[in-house]
Structure 1
Amino acid sequence: MSATIVLDIGKTNVKLVLLDQGGDTLASRRMPNAVLRDGPYPRHDTERIWNWMLDTLRELGDIAPVAAIVPVTHGATAALVDDNGLVLPVLDYEYEPPAAQLQHYAALRPAYESTHSPQLPAGLNLGRQLAWLAHAFPDDFSRARQILMYPQYWAWRLSGVAASEVTSLGCHTDLWQPARQDYSSLVDGMGWRGLFPPMRPAWAALGTLTPEVAARSGLPSSCQVICGIHDSNASLLRHLPVGCQGEPLTVLSTGTWVIAAAIGMPLDGLREEADMLANSNALGQPVACMRFMGGREFAELAGAEPQVCGIDDLQTLIDQDSMALPCFAAAGGPFAGRAGRIDGPAPHSRQQAYALATLYCVLMSDYCLSALGASGPVVVEGSYTDNPHFAPLLAALRPQQSIASSSDTSGTSCGGWMLHHWGTAPQGGNALATPLQLRGWQEYRQRWLTKSQPGGT
């Protein structure tokens, strides 16, 4: 019985997940995803990830024979490589390049109408990262032979085969035109098109492990390396058959980022000033999306040692009109640039802090769904499925839609498994949420909406 390993690199944690032939988890290992502050700019600790991964692969390989490795990573990240490896460290997308560069880049970036990629802070537009690196480190940049999206960087290190893939290219990068399924004017204007390797499907087997990796990891030399995918698009995979049939469906992919992906919705309602965007799914089709940094904001509000709250804690905060107003992360979203605050009595226990974070993230998710005009069922994937109140509270606000939680708490792992078993439906289903009808919840939402608008009090 062969197994699949998903390398899941999120902004907060790096995970290796071992899944059997049916998609069930056999084992999982994780470590924090640290950002190094030495060197020319904040950078991802790729060598620590690499060494930890190789050591952990040996451990997982002792549990079950491994047939394939699938890289799944966060977006807005790329690696510049030559034949020997990185020519520059992998830049952290939360780094803010010099302000003077922003004006220069504004003249280079394509129109929103062509990319549906809004102008975002820091390096969340990957094109801005690349333009700054080319300007600030011209000699190093000129040595690059390839620009690899982050999942494909790891696939390249494992297999030695370079590829490009649409989901990471189409993730608010300014590099891709989702509707035309082609590179943007920025890529051609900067002369970068030749640096991108051939396009391959996310599910393509690029090759097998290099002899060096096989020897170091202890995995069989026949182990395949799959091209890989952007993490929130991995969460979409099990739902694409529904969306591709023209039936509206929205997936809330939750983790460090909460991304509402409205499969089947048109792009003409997207607005740049609201931080709305079009991602590209694994089939290359554009998907209307809206997002906020919900995992980071939940952690900020819930505290270092969160304690799951009870329904009474939620009701107390609603009754006393305690609410968190956006936003508590500086990395974009519909209320980007605003400083979050707590209005009304502050939480006085860890349970109440968890309750406040829950109410806030439900309201933010509801706001994004409404702004997208999302219709049809909503499925919650990822970390929020561990919160017993999230889906029921959201269901109470949106009685016209069914709200369900995925039985798989990690849509990224499930999506990675699906890439190795392309065309096979995973086991498990979705649990329909029963609306949690708290006293005054609808009125609380209306007050939150009013106070969250510019000039709201």
Structure 2
Amino acid sequence: MNPIPVIAVFDVGKTNKKLFLFDESYNIVFERSARFNEVTDEDGFACENLDALKKSVFDSLNEVKRLKQFRLEAVNFSAYGASFVYLDEDGNTIAPLYNYLKPYPEVLKKQFYDTYGDEATIAFETASPSLGSLNSGLQLYRIKYEQPELFKRIKYALHLPQYLSYLVSGRPFSDCTSIGCHTALWDFNKNDYHNWVKKEGLTKILAPIAPSNGVVEPKTEGELYQVGIGLHDSSAALIPYLASFNMPFVLLSTGTWAISLNPFDSSPLTVEELDQDCLNYIQYRGKPVKASRLFSGHEFDVGIKAIAEKYGEDVIKYRNIPYSTETPKEEDVAAYYDLVHEIIGMQKKATELVLRNTPVRRIFVDGGFSKNSVFMHLLAKAFPDVEVYAASMAQATALGTALSIHYSWNTAPIPTDLINLKYYSAIQPAIY
């Protein structure tokens, strides 16, 4: 039996670290998942265990090579953004992977904006709301002024997806999907690093920018597979939709955050949009993606826990409540409907921010809320002039990461059935 050609994708989240093997039809034929205990930085703040992550990448790759039923053709990586790995002249890590949730010093923040312009101006130019450590460029700024000796030792600062690629290829790169992700590094009008980045001398430690669909050879001699550059996870999750649909759409990607992504709107962000937590991503083809964020998954989890406690129910009850056009008779179910109505009200405002003045007539919902019947029906009612679909596929981020380098390893055409859609009609009568 001939071995199956596969691509290996490492999908590194804050909690779960996953490995998938996709065949040429993008079926998952092998998977592994791991979790690592966090370590702490010099201030005692929790951060990623880089040593464990590095060991896991090499151990997993070696395991794949031992599987005789597969032939490894390519490897690619996706990971969360807003995090840098710092390498010295010899390619060794010389600092923790600082947590993007770590509070940013107010004194340093004031120094930055006093020097380079007010928060609104910088946010407008970089399409990045002022988010402290979530603006990864400000992490570099912090090291330069708080740890100057460390800064002098940095040869390259690589975003996490590109560090993972570097482990296998030995080649340092930057990538537009990581740079263009609320980093405050990129001037979207000039399509170049922002002036502050150049004045602070940061460009010398930012690796050359490579195409997101680019591949290089592995650093180990004799290996025949291709190595991708790596992608920011939110941008990767958009790729299956861009590969499958030509008509304009908005993707509502739901989890802890609900992120509305419009890859068909390249207009500059307005001050109003920035004030309402909108930002721009750069998709893997280099074009801007207008996005809005809402903490709705978190709000939903908190809400159903409160309802369950109040009415003495198990939270599991509220995971699969069916949609009904009739007013709920049970008080706790009515409270649940009130919660979803409230979330839909906020979601309508957030999604409308990226819908206005665009030709979009479709919303695709993936993630947790796509499986919630009440949410989906009420969302369809909130957008009566737009077709609303629940979208499902296996591991959208990992699949998009594989698709980004399709033509470098896969001789088969991209399948047309990557995504399953379920239509929700706005014609249903309202519950209230």
Taking structure 1 as the reference length, the TM-score comes to: 0.78
Whether the 8 Å CA contact 2:169–2:219 is kept in 1: the answer is: yes
Change in Cα spacing, 1:352 to 1:50, as seen in structure 2 (3 Å) is farther
| Corresponding residue of 1:111 | 122
Q: Structure 2 regions of 5+ residues with no counterpart?
A: 306-313
Aligned-residue CA RMSD (Å): 3.1
Deviation string 1:76-108 (CA, Å, 9 cap, x unpaired) is: 111121123212111110111222222122234
What does 1:402-417 correspond to in 2, within 5 Å? 402-417=387-402
- Work out which of the residue numbers 11, 19, 23 in structure 2 matches 1:16: 19
Distance in 1, matches of 2:49 and 2:327, equals 43
> How far has the Cα of 1:159 moved from its partner?
1.3
What does 1:272-351 correspond to in 2, within 5 Å? 272-303=274-305, 306-307=316-317, 308-311=319-322
| Corresponding residue of 1:91 | 98
User: Does structure 1 residue 250 correspond to structure 2 residue 256?
Assistant: no
Distance in 2, matches of 1:364 and 1:54, equals 44
Change in Cα spacing, 1:383 to 1:34, as seen in structure 2 (3 Å) is farther
Deviation string 1:246-272 (CA, Å, 9 cap, x unpaired) is: x53211223343221112224245322
Distance in 1, matches of 2:220 and 2:336, equals 46
> How far has the Cα of 1:203 moved from its partner?
1.5
Deviation string 1:290-345 (CA, Å, 9 cap, x unpaired) is: 1124444444444596452312699767x89xxxxxxxxxxxxxxxxxxxxxxxx8
| Corresponding residue of 2:310 | none
Distance in 1, matches of 2:42 and 2:400, equals 35
User: Does structure 1 residue 425 correspond to structure 2 residue 407?
Assistant: no
Deviation string 1:85-136 (CA, Å, 9 cap, x unpaired) is: 212111110111222222122234662332121112x411112211112222
Change in Cα spacing, 1:367 to 1:302, as seen in structure 2 (3 Å) is same
What does 1:33-432 correspond to in 2, within 5 Å? 34-40=37-43, 41-61=45-65, 62=67, 64-82=70-88, 83-107=90-114, 108=116, 111-120=122-131, 122-210=132-220, 221-240=223-242, 247-268=247-268, 270=270, 271-303=273-305, 306-307=316-317, 308-311=319-322, 361-374=343-356, 375-422=360-407, 424-426=413-415, 427-432=417-422
Secondary structure of the 2:236 match is helix
Change in Cα spacing, 1:59 to 1:94, as seen in structure 2 (3 Å) is same
> How far has the Cα of 1:14 moved from its partner?
1.7
Secondary structure of the 1:379 match is strand
Percent identity between the two aligned chains: 25
Whether the 8 Å CA contact 1:209–1:223 is kept in 2: the answer is: no
Whether the 8 Å CA contact 1:290–1:372 is kept in 2: the answer is: yes
Distance in 2, matches of 1:100 and 1:162, equals 33
Distance in 2, matches of 1:417 and 1:314, equals 41
Deviation string 1:341-391 (CA, Å, 9 cap, x unpaired) is: xxxx8x5xxx89987775555444322111223532111233443444443
Counterpart residue identity of residue 104, structure 1: Q
Distance in 2, matches of 1:353 and 1:231, equals 34
Deviation string 1:404-435 (CA, Å, 9 cap, x unpaired) is: 23331422012111023149534423413223
Distance in 2, matches of 1:15 and 1:162, equals 23
Taking structure 2 as the reference length, the TM-score comes to: 0.82
Q: Structure 1 regions of 5+ residues with no counterpart?
A: 212-219, 321-344, 444-457
Change in Cα spacing, 1:203 to 1:438, as seen in structure 2 (3 Å) is same
User: Does structure 1 residue 29 correspond to structure 2 residue 32?
Assistant: yes
Number of equivalent positions: 402
Deviation string 1:193-215 (CA, Å, 9 cap, x unpaired) is: 1211111111211221536xxxx
- Work out which of the residue numbers 6, 10, 32 in structure 2 matches 1:7: 10
Counterpart residue identity of residue 370, structure 1: E
Distance in 1, matches of 2:156 and 2:387, equals 45
- Work out which of the residue numbers 418, 425, 432 in structure 2 matches 1:435: 425
Distance in 1, matches of 2:315 and 2:73, equals 38
Change in Cα spacing, 1:68 to 1:355, as seen in structure 2 (3 Å) is farther
Distance in 2, matches of 1:177 and 1:51, equals 36
Deviation string 1:131-159 (CA, Å, 9 cap, x unpaired) is: 11222211112100011121101100121
